[in-house]
Amino acid sequence: MNFGHIKKVELHTHLDCSLSYELVKKILPETNLEVFKEKFTGHGCKNLNDYLKCIDRSLDLMQNEEQLNLVVVDFFDQLKRDNVIYVEIRFAPLLHLKEGLDPLQVIEIILKKCKSESQKSNIKFGLILCTLRHFSEYESLETVKLIKELADEMIVGFDIAADEAGYSLDNHIKAFEFAKKNNINCTAHAGEARGYESVIETLDMLDPQRIGHGVTSCESTSLMKRLIKEKIHLEICLTSNLVTGLYKNIREHPVNYFYKKNFSISINSDGRTISNTSLNEEYKKLSQTFNWKEQHFLNCNLNAIRSSFADEKTKSDIILQLKNQ
């Protein structure tokens, strides 16, 4: 099967986790492949915290307009190679302020370049702004309020990411309440570094439409029933869960179990660089390990676009493209 020919939808991918070797070398010419592998990929990760440390090195290269523009161009090049036709790109604007940009400028730079690259590549996109678990209540509210302030149709949602096991959700309840009050779509990382209780807590306290990862949900029958009943989409990131040590190998991963139980799931890269993967590679692993065929991938991509935060016209256009390939 030629996985590059399959048109794809990606809902869970972090801009700051996806800097290619070529891009890093352009910004830091002294970087060689060995240094890149050691500092920017998660090949030595034992857990989620190790994974998150790799992001700090990438963030250092995303602090001014020129760098952010280069990162976006590089990212769309990777999407093209994966034959992605719709993507939701997430990032935390408060992490790009070291060289004097303010959060609004960060978003405007990324948004403008995404629009330009989208036109060139014909890849439709939406942006998701992230708050982080260790952020204060003020920082979380500041992030979500930027979505309302900008009021751009291409900024499609709000997310919470980072150290799920180390920080509670208390600082973020008001931000998610603000999102609900202002009709801002929400997703939330959960069930990645903690067990199924984390998913229950996140659903109860934040009420998101989707869960990023959520794989530990399979530990609870009642939670599984709830996810089906409430039509909660799970953004599955296969290799990422191996790199962070959640599962020892792909066979242990519950992705096939979720699929067989008719859950709404999508297949995502999470961070192409840190997970050292691509969507083509993820599809290849699913095919080799679980014998997935084109129909499996089509179903997941249809689930993804239907659960996306895109407008109805974009959803219809993408569904048509997926069905007619």
User: pLDDT tens across 193-203, in order?
Assistant: 899 999 999 99
Q: What is the pLDDT of residue 30?
A: 96
Q: Where are the domains of the chain?
A: 3-323
Output the CA–CA distances (angstroms, integers) from residue 311 to 37, 131, 151, 267, in the order listed.
38, 23, 14, 21
pLDDT of residue 206: 98
> Per residue in 12-51, pLDDT tens?
999 999 999 999 999 999 999 999 999 899 877 777 777 7
Question: What 3-state DSSP class applies to 184?
Answer: coil
Give CA 160 to chain center in angstroms. Answer: 11
Looking up tokens 């992605």 gives 84
pLDDT digits (tens, 9 = 90+) for 248-259: 999 999 999 999
Calpha distance 308→156 (Å, rounded): 9
In whole angstroms, give the CA distance from residue 275 to residue 278.
9
Percent of the chain with pLDDT over 70: 100
Q: Which residues make beta-bridge pairs with 13?
A: 89, 270
Q: What is the pLDDT of residue 241?
A: 96
Indicate the class that CATH gives domain 3-323.
Answer: alpha beta
How many alpha carbons fall within 13 Å on the CB side of residue 173?
6
Instruction: Write out pLDDT tens, residues 154-164.
Output: 999 999 999 99
Sign of CA dihedral 131, 137, 142, 148: positive
- Per residue in 246-298, pLDDT (tens digit) is 999 999 999 999 999 999 999 999 999 999 999 999 999 999 999 999 999 99
Residues, the chain, total? 325
d(CA 117, CA 69): 10
* Tens of pLDDT, residues 210-233: 999 999 999 999 999 999 999 999
DSSP letter string, 268-306: --B-TTTTT--HHHHHHHHHHHH---HHHHHHHHHHHHH
CA torsion, ordered 198, 203, 207, 213, to nearest 10 deg = 60
First-to-last alpha carbon distance for the chain, in angstroms, is 14
